[in-house]
Amino acid sequence: METDVRLSVTQEQTLNGLLAAISSGSILALRSKAGFGRTAILRKVHLAAGGAFVGFRTFMNVLIERQPPSIEEAFLYLIDESLKGNELVI
């Protein structure tokens, strides 16, 4: 994971907003157009707040390993397993 990525002013504001909102919300959403730095922002959130970082590759590995009858089951399994050792899942 690359940690020395510089965020733009707007990305920094988004990062700070997410970090402030973590303590007051159980589910947060970060939406933007492709290429606007969502992953970079979320990796910075992860560095600052800790927890588990679950990306698409992790999800696909669970889907392949478990071969569940539905994508939803694989997603729920991944989130449940991530929450077992972490209060925060990104």
Alpha helices in the chain (DSSP H): 9-22, 38-49, 56-66, 71-84
Q: What is the pLDDT of residue 21?
A: 93
Cβ pair 49, 20 in contact under 8 A = no
- Token pair, residue 82, equals 């991530």
HSE-up of residue 77 (Cα within 13 Å, Cβ side): 17
pLDDT, mean over the chain: 89
Prediction pTM value: 0.78
Give the residue among 32, 43, 51 at the shortest CA–CA distance from 7: 43
Q: For the chain, what percent of residues have pLDDT higher than 90?
A: 57
Query: Looking at this protein, which amino acid is placed at residue 84?
Result: K
Q: What is the tens place of the pLDDT at every residue in 12-51?
A: 999 999 999 998 878 888 999 999 999 999 999 999 999 9
Cα separations in angstroms, 50 against 34, 68, 89? 25, 29, 9
